[in-house]
Amino acid sequence: MGESAFREIPGVDEVLCEGRVTQLCEVLSREVVVTLVRRRLAEIREFIGSGGRAPSLEEMVDSIMAEARVLGSLSLQPVINATGVVLHTNLGRAPLSIEALRAAELASRGYSNLEFDLGSGRRGSRHDHVEHILCHLTGAEAALVVNNNASGVLLALTALARRKEVIISRGQAVEIGGGFRIPEVMRESGARLVEVGTTNCSYVEDYERAITPRTAVLLQVHSSNFKVTGFTHGVSLEELVELGRRHSISVLDDVGSGCLVDTTRFGLDPEPRVQNRISAGADLVFLSGDKLLGGPQAGIIVGRKELVGRLRKHPLARAVRIDKARIAALSVTLAHYLRGEALEKIPVLRFIATPLSEIEGRAERWARFLGGAAVVMPGESVIGGGSLPGGTLPTRVVAIRLSGKAGIESLARMLRRHTPPVIARVDKDALLLDPRTVFLEEDETLLAAVRRSLDSLAS
Ligand SMILES: *Cc1c(COP(=O)(O)O)cnc(C)c1O
């Protein structure tokens, strides 16, 4: 391979003078464009060195433009969730209330008294903004808020059980979606996991027999994403608390979803309610901010003052701390509960509480608008997101059938490529749209997207 191939490679300035590349410098900084050009030229040199042929200037610019497009486009964007999965982990779990959003915006736009005591003019604590209200809602003595529930559990096990033993039922040493595995968190915390009982059965005597002078914690983990049925026996929180008291061992309770309202009123299974876990005597209760609570991503820890104090002082607390925008959003979300307006204001709860008749009316309007291929059918909305395993609500979906599975897959793909993307459910030979998780103000956009996609598939 001769020198001539290398001589064909243009210089950086030559590429920069190319019309499309010059225009690119108006969208991206010149420095970034120069880097893209240099990198592409280096790749070409390497390609030629290994026996390849030099691309034309045109091709070179094409590939630079393609890379610039990826770089310049914002990847994270809002989508319309027509899946009916209320807490969809892949779609960002809980949407915030308008008021919570506004609070986050205000706290982020300017300065705030995040860690400043306006009374004394001295340093304050970011936790003060939510501790009172959390204590009031749950009946706990103290509260602490961290980055997410996984980090809350990690912080507590590190601060309270490092180089000590934590007893857990074998049936609860589980994985809760997204790679949160209790045994792994335990290992990272430096605590030693002592599993008792069997996968389906454990008794309080199993725990008692495993207690040693090194036992620091009895841990309960809610089975947020699976159900054990058939021949089973579990140990109640009350039994664990009684055992913990007798041996002066703390009882920690990871409820996961963190529900404050009674889920049975919507026809769902009972989900552990934080206030009941506190009154049952748990020393610390852990919950997520963005599951059934309906707030921002957060790990909420409520419980005994002395233990919460130890967590606050632990160096890891700084590493898992929560930011001001989410503290603002969380405090407003919690205020919705105090004001008795949670079911109307918090999207997750509003979606769960929407009467079937309302969903049916909307589905019928959608089907009428879409015509032909669309029919209303009974279906099930899923709660999802690591809460209420198997929890579903009866719903009405708009089902669109096209000839063949390929047609449905292309329709789903077109909807995903729409701006904003529309995410639907594909069930065998039908595309299903569930109004439950679609905001009212998204209706028109969604219908226009479906109509346009159907039209372009037909043509
Ligand atoms: C969801 C869940 C977690 C993890 O919570 P994140 O807020 O996602 O970190 C931990 N434990 C249980 C029981 C859960 O359900």
- Number of structural domains (the chain) is 3
Which residue's structure tokens are 């030229």? 41
Q: How far is the CA of 177 from the centre of ligand 1 (A)?
A: 8
Average pLDDT value for residue range 169-196: 83
pLDDT of the residue at 271: 84
- Closest residue to atom 6 of ligand 1, CA basis: 149
Which residue's structure tokens are 């290992």? 187
Question: CB–CB of 87/263 below 8 Å?
Answer: no
Say if residue 104 is in the same domain as residue 190: yes
pLDDT of the residue at 192: 93
Cα 245 from Cα 390, distance rounded (Å): 34
pLDDT of the residue at 187: 85
Cα 425 from Cα 397, distance rounded (Å): 10
Say if residue 106 is in the same domain as residue 222: yes
- Counting Cβ atoms within 10 Å, is residue 450 exposed (0-12), middle (13-18) or buried (19+)? buried
Quote the Cα angle for 283-289-290, to 5°.
145
Say if residue 175 is in the same domain as residue 208: yes
Average pLDDT value for residue range 190-208: 89
Say if residue 15 is in the same domain as residue 27: yes
pLDDT of the residue at 384: 87
Kindly report the average pLDDT of the chain as a whole number: 92
- Closest residue to atom 3 of ligand 1, CA basis: 256
Domain that holds residue 29: 3-72
Question: CB–CB of 134/278 below 8 Å?
Answer: no
User: Over the stretch 205-238, which tens digit does the pLDDT of each residue have?
Assistant: 999 999 999 999 999 998 766 677 777 788 899 9
- Answer whether residue 177 shows pLDDT above 70: no
pLDDT of the residue at 53: 87
Say if residue 201 is in the same domain as residue 314: yes
pLDDT of the residue at 422: 98
pLDDT of the residue at 3: 72
pLDDT of the residue at 222: 86
pLDDT of the residue at 408: 93
pLDDT band per the 50, 70, 90 thresholds, residue 44: very high
- Answer whether residue 1 shows pLDDT above 60: no
Ligand 1 in contact with 271 (CB < 6 A)?
no
pLDDT band per the 50, 70, 90 thresholds, residue 386: low
Which residue's structure tokens are 């105090």? 338
Ligand 1 in contact with 362 (CB < 6 A)?
no
Say if residue 360 is in the same domain as residue 338: no
Say if residue 35 is in the same domain as residue 179: no
Ligand 1 in contact with 150 (CB < 6 A)?
yes
Per DSSP, the three-state class of 145 is strand
Ligand 1 in contact with 283 (CB < 6 A)?
no
Residue 402 sits in a domain whose CATH number is 3.90.1150.180
- Answer whether residue 43 shows pLDDT above 90: yes
Ligand 1 in contact with 391 (CB < 6 A)?
no
Ligand 1 in contact with 173 (CB < 6 A)?
no
- Answer whether residue 62 shows pLDDT above 80: yes
User: Over the stretch 408-436, which tens digit does the pLDDT of each residue have?
Assistant: 999 999 999 999 999 999 998 899 999 99
Ligand 1 in contact with 288 (CB < 6 A)?
yes
pLDDT of the residue at 229: 72
Residue 450: phi, psi to the nearest 5? -65, -45
Say if residue 151 is in the same domain as residue 209: yes
User: Over the stretch 398-408, which tens digit does the pLDDT of each residue have?
Assistant: 999 987 777 89
Q: How far is the CA of 459 from the centre of ligand 1 (A)?
A: 47
pLDDT of the residue at 2: 59
Number of Cα atoms under 13 Å in the Cβ half of residue 387 = 32
Q: Please tell me the least confidently modeled range out of 128-137, 165-174, 217-226, 320-329.
A: 217-226
165's enclosing H/E stretch is: strand 165-169
Say if residue 193 is in the same domain as residue 322: yes
- Answer whether residue 387 shows pLDDT above 90: no
Pairing of strands 80-81, 180-181: unpaired
